[in-house]
Each structure stands twice: as C-alpha cells, then as structure tokens.
Amino acid sequence: MYIMPKNKRLLIVGFVWPEPKSSAAGKRMLQLIELFQEEGYVITFVSSAQNIEFSEDVSIYGVTTKNIELNSSTFDDFVKVLNPKIVLFDRFMVEEQFGWRVSKSCPNALKILDTEDLHCLRQARQLAIKENRDFFLEELFSDVAKREIASILRCDLSLLVSEFEMELLQNQFKISKDILYYLPIFDEKLNTIPTYSDREDFIFIGNFLHEPNWDCVKYLAKVIWPLLHLKLPDSKLFIYGAYSSQKVLELHKPKQNLYIMGRAENSENIVKKAKVVLAPIRFGAGIKGKLLEAMKCGTPCVTSSIGAEAMKGNLNWNGYIMDTPNEFVNAAVSLYKEENLWNQCQKNGFAILEKRYKKSLFKKYFMDLVNYNLENLKQLRNENFIGSILQHHTLSSTKYLSKWIEEKNKK
C-alpha cells in the first residue's frame, strides 16, 4: 500500500500569473491548485512574468507566491531549499527554461507538464489558415514540435485537455501513453438559468490576445455577421474580450447591431442572458473554455469542427457544428428562432458536462496516478529512457547557455 511521504510540497512554475476571468488557461490553473490542495499539498506558485492588472492573487487561496528570474542561479538556490516533491510546469516553454534546473537541484521531484494545448498543432493550423489552404498532419513536424515533444519526454507525466491530442501524440509522435494523462477542464451547469423567452441576442467571449480568438472575431464580424444580420435584422451581436486593442475596437458597428464590448467582468452572467453563442473558430488546439461556459450557462452554440474538437465524445452537440458561412448562418437562425430545438440543444450541453467534465470523474484516478508515479519514479524514468537521454543533453547544453546569459546580464 502506498504511503504518502511527509513532504507534500508542490511547486508550480507558471508561464503567466493566472487570469481565470480572462482565459480558460487561468481557470485550469486554479483547478489544478484546488486538486492538489484537497490532497494536502502545500503549494508555491512562481513565475518570471509580470503580475498585471487582471492577474488573480492566488495567495488568497493559501498559495505562496514568488517572482523568479530567467537565466539566474537564484532559482537553483530557491528550489533546493524548497525541496518540492512535485514540480508542475505551466506549458513547455517554462519547462525549457527551468526543467533542467529542477533536475539538477531536486532530481527526485516528480515533474509534471501541463500542456494547456499542443502548440505545434495550433501553430500549424494557423499557418494553413494564413495561407488559405488545407491543413495536413505532416505539417506538425516543425521546430516547435521538436521543442514541445522533447519537453513532454523530459517530464514524468504530461497533462492534456483533449483526447484528440492524446491520440495525436501517440499515433503521430509515438509517445508512450504511460507518460500522458487526459485531464480536461472541469465544469458543471449553473443552478439558476434563464429560459429561452428570457434571453436575446448573440454573443462571443474570448481573450483578444489569443490568436485563434482574434481570428474568430474578425471572421465573425466580416463574414458571418453580415449574412446573419440580413436574416435577423433586429438581433444584435455582442463581442466581449479582455485586451481589446484599436484593431478590435474598429470592428464596432452599432448601425449593423455589432457591438465590441471589451472585458466581461462576469462572463457567466452575460452568457446566460444570451440566446446563442457564436464561435466560428478556424484554428486552435485543446478544448475551448468558452464553449464549456456556454454549456454551463445553458446557452446553445454554433461552432466549427475545430471548435468542438474532442469536446462531445459520442454525445450530441449543444447546437450545431458547421464549417461553411451559409451553413453556419442557417444553423444560427434555426437555434435563435426555434424554441423546441433550442431547449433540446441546451439539454445536450448539460449531458456533455455531466458525462465528460465533472470533477468527480477524474480526481481520484488522477491522484492515484500521481501517487503511483511518486512511488515508482525510478522505474518509470528507466522505461522512458529517451526522456532520460534528452534530459542529460539538455542539462549539458542549456546549462552553459543559461550561465553565459547570466554572466552577460551581470556585465
């Protein structure tokens, strides 16, 4: 029987400070913090990023925080004193910067990578859209993929929010399933939800700094809405999102009932009052927090195949999945005008949440795996020998590059 060691310290190295009200990634991070705290872990969260206006103060959840420096041996001293049992890296770029330092100072710490989404997949799809062509799986094998896959192999366990990406890593990159784990963003429906007759208008919510969101907003404003507005001239489209720059504000067209609203202080309150969510997402990866939120709020949505990717399993979608402008618009009109259809799609969304995104479906199995990996860490690393090779060479090469940068910065 496994006995949890007395050392129950978890170090999280963040790419940014969490922004749960601005992005699904921020919400995801708070959920991971909660999972480990419920198992009795004492958590320290560090990041080299700036703590900006909309960052969550994770110290209110009992988490110790600290700013760290890139290319600085001060991190080595810090992590050696902290001596965490587990280190969780928030995205592969963070593991590249700090993973070798953790391995040097705390070689027996379990290293977990939270991928958020596969960056190589998202970037390859983005390039295809930019060049106005189809995406092919062969395009995955990029320099970004080499970095990302190397990071996954160097870690003891990598978390993915998408089953599609789990299969992609195993089938295309031949990564062992033993170092991968599917752990989606959790969600469940709100207790109080307005009815069809109490709602109006269309909505989109998404952080404008995220390229898939910005592309989606442009496509929505310039292609989808002009067609939809012709069919439903009295309806309105409200687009919300954090970090609305001038180029975003220029899409504001009140005469066409298109409104750029900026940041949503309470997105759930806004989404549950809307009749339909529109999300014609043309590229991206992972699963879409905005679509989970739509289900949570009982708001049917029209999205694309990429938007709905890996989210519904074999269940019915909470609306429509359409990839051409005319099909997308016709689906939006049907959802907006047909109450019985709208109610059924709302029920579909609730079923997806209940059967695929409840925290209770995953918590025990995930923590059991973490405990097993802690107990069998040496054996697991022997079985992932390629990861050990990459770790060895990364420690040798990155170490001296980082030390050179550190000395240069001193001068």
- CATH number of the domain within which 25 lies: 3.40.50.2000
pLDDT in the model for residue 55: 87
**N- to C-terminal Cα distance for the chain?**
54
N residues, the chain: 411
Q: Where are the alpha helices (DSSP H) in 19-91?
A: 24-38, 74-82
Residue 303 CA to residue 296 CA, distance in Å, equals 16
Residue range 374-391: mean pLDDT, rounded: 90
Q: Compute the CA torsion angle 155, 355, 205, 318 (nearest 10 deg).
A: 140
Looking at the fold, whether 231 and 324 belong to one and the same domain comes out as yes
Closest residue by Cα to residue 26 from 242, 261, 307: 242
pLDDT in the model for residue 51: 80
| Structural domains in the chain (count) | 2
Residue range 220-236: mean pLDDT, rounded: 98
Residue 26 burial (C-beta neighbours within 10 Å; 0-12, 13-18, 19+) = buried
Domain closes at, from 339, 356, 373: 356
Amino acid letter, residue 360: S
| DSSP per position, 203-231 | EEE--TTSHHHHHHHHHIIIIIHHHHHHH
Looking at the fold, whether 124 and 242 belong to one and the same domain comes out as no
Looking at the fold, whether 349 and 282 belong to one and the same domain comes out as yes
Looking at the fold, whether 26 and 156 belong to one and the same domain comes out as yes
Considering only residues 236 and 400, tell me which one the structure prediction assigns the higher pLDDT.
Answer: 236
Domain closes at, from 356, 379, 395: 356
pLDDT digits (tens, 9 = 90+) for 44-66: 999 999 887 778 899 999 999 99
Looking at the fold, whether 350 and 364 belong to one and the same domain comes out as no
Looking at the fold, whether 123 and 212 belong to one and the same domain comes out as no
Mean pLDDT of the chain: 93
Considering only residues 266 and 403, tell me which one the structure prediction assigns the higher pLDDT.
Answer: 266
pLDDT in the model for residue 388: 82
Percent of the chain scored above 70 by pLDDT?
94
pLDDT in the model for residue 274: 98
| Parent domain of 127 | 9-186+359-410
Looking at the fold, whether 119 and 214 belong to one and the same domain comes out as no
Residue range 351-368: mean pLDDT, rounded: 97
Looking at the fold, whether 37 and 93 belong to one and the same domain comes out as yes
Residue identified by tokens 């031949």 is 174
User: Quick check: 329 pLDDT over 60?
Assistant: yes
Query: Is residue 3, in this structure, part of any structural domain at all?
Result: no
pLDDT in the model for residue 262: 86
399: confidence class by pLDDT, cuts 50, 70, 90: low
pLDDT digits (tens, 9 = 90+) for 151-194: 999 999 999 999 999 999 999 999 999 999 999 999 999 999 99
Query: Is residue 297, in this structure, part of any structural domain at all?
Result: yes
Looking at the fold, whether 173 and 25 belong to one and the same domain comes out as yes
Among 15-24, 27-36, 171-180, 360-369, where is mean pLDDT lowest?
Answer: 15-24
Burial call 301-313: b when 16+ CB within 10 Å, e when fewer: bbbbebbbbbbbe
pLDDT in the model for residue 125: 97
Looking at the fold, whether 78 and 137 belong to one and the same domain comes out as yes
Query: Is residue 68, in this structure, part of any structural domain at all?
Result: yes
Query: Is residue 191, in this structure, part of any structural domain at all?
Result: no
Query: Is residue 4, in this structure, part of any structural domain at all?
Result: no
pLDDT in the model for residue 176: 95
pLDDT digits (tens, 9 = 90+) for 66-81: 999 998 999 999 999 9
User: Quick check: 9 pLDDT over 60?
Assistant: yes
Residue range 24-37: mean pLDDT, rounded: 96
Domain closes at, from 356, 378, 398: 356
User: Quick check: 3 pLDDT over 60?
Assistant: no
Query: Is residue 88, in this structure, part of any structural domain at all?
Result: yes
User: Quick check: 1 pLDDT over 80?
Assistant: no
DSSP 353: H
User: Quick check: 306 pLDDT over 80?
Assistant: yes
408: confidence class by pLDDT, cuts 50, 70, 90: low
Q: How far is CA 41 from CA 8, 33, 44, 63, 408, in A?
A: 5, 9, 10, 10, 38
Residue range 21-50: mean pLDDT, rounded: 95
Residue 258 burial (C-beta neighbours within 10 Å; 0-12, 13-18, 19+) = buried
pLDDT in the model for residue 2: 36
Residue range 309-315: mean pLDDT, rounded: 97
Looking at the fold, whether 279 and 176 belong to one and the same domain comes out as no
Percent of the chain scored above 90 by pLDDT?
85
pTM equals 0.93
pLDDT in the model for residue 395: 65
Looking at the fold, whether 28 and 174 belong to one and the same domain comes out as yes
